[in-house]
């Protein structure tokens, strides 16, 4: 993973339509944000986060389900960005791609169990991914491409279609 250059001032974007108010306020307080701004039905922007080191801990284990977040420089707006980089599986699309590909194997259960083990924290994501990719190594590219093309579904999370310019 490439570490970006440190930002001196940033906004914390929280993509969730209705996070608990007390949780939102606690994140703002812990990060030293100057204010909370609603971003329509996308979520909230915590303006001018002062304590960058506190972001991960402030979001913590009590974060709302299906929360996504991003940091952007304080001198930028979301409309300044023309490219989205995100974890696709379970974020922008509903599916777990590797598990969908495992459906092409005679026995997909071992691959799906490796996915579940990583999600439960029983093994590292890196180890799980390495082992799942090894299990898929013999699949023909054409079969994989057609399978993914026919099975992937865009998420119904309220931020995805609008923020990504996706239309149904």
* Residue 92 pLDDT class (50, 70, 90 cuts): low
- Domain definitions of the chain by residue range: 10-80, 97-152
At residue 110, the pLDDT reads 93
Of 15 and 81, the one with more pLDDT: 15
* Residue 76 pLDDT class (50, 70, 90 cuts): confident
- The yes-or-no verdict on residue 133 having pLDDT over 80 is yes
Mean pLDDT (the chain) is 79
* Distance set, CA 155 to CA 54, 75, 85, 94, 96 (Å): 29, 30, 16, 5, 12
At residue 150, the pLDDT reads 76
* Distance set, CA 130 to CA 14, 72, 126, 136, 156 (Å): 30, 31, 6, 10, 29
Q: What is the side-by-side strand order in the sheet with 68-73?
A: 35-38, 44-49, 10-15, 68-73
At residue 130, the pLDDT reads 92
* Residue 155 pLDDT class (50, 70, 90 cuts): low
**10-80 fold:** Alpha-Beta Plaits (3.30.70)
At residue 88, the pLDDT reads 61
pLDDT in tens, 139-152: 887 877 777 677 76
CB proximity list for 32: less than 8 A, separation 6 or greater: 49, 50, 51, 54
Say if residues 157 and 88 touch (Cβ distance below 8 Å): no
At residue 1, the pLDDT reads 42
Architecture of domain 97-152: Orthogonal Bundle (1.10)
Q: State the average pLDDT over residues 77-105.
A: 74
Q: Nearest 5°: phi and psi at 109?
A: -55, -45
Q: State the average pLDDT over residues 148-158.
A: 65
pLDDT in tens, 6-58: 556 899 999 888 889 999 999 999 999 999 999 887 789 999 998 888 888 88
């Amino acid at each position: 993973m490439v570490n970006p250059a440190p930002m001196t001032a940033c906004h914390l974007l929280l993509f969730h339509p209705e996070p608990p108010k007390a949780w939102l306020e606690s994140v703002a307080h812990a990060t030293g944000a100057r204010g909370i701004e609603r971003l329509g039905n996308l979520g909230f922007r915590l303006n001018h986060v002062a304590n960058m080191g506190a972001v991960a801990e402030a979001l913590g284990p009590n974060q709302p389900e299906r929360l996504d977040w991003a940091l952007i420089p304080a001198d930028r707006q979301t409309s300044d960005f023309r490219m989205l980089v995100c974890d696709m599986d379970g974020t922008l699309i509903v599916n777990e791609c590797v598990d969908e590909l495992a459906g092409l194997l005679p026995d997909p259960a071992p691959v799906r169990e490796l996915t579940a083990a990583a999600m439960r924290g029983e093994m590292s994501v890196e180890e799980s991914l390495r082992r799942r990719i090894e299990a898929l190594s013999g699949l023909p590219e054409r079969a994989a491409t057609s399978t993914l093309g026919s099975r992937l579904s865009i998420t119904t999370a309220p931020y995805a279609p609008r923020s990504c310019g996706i239309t149904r």
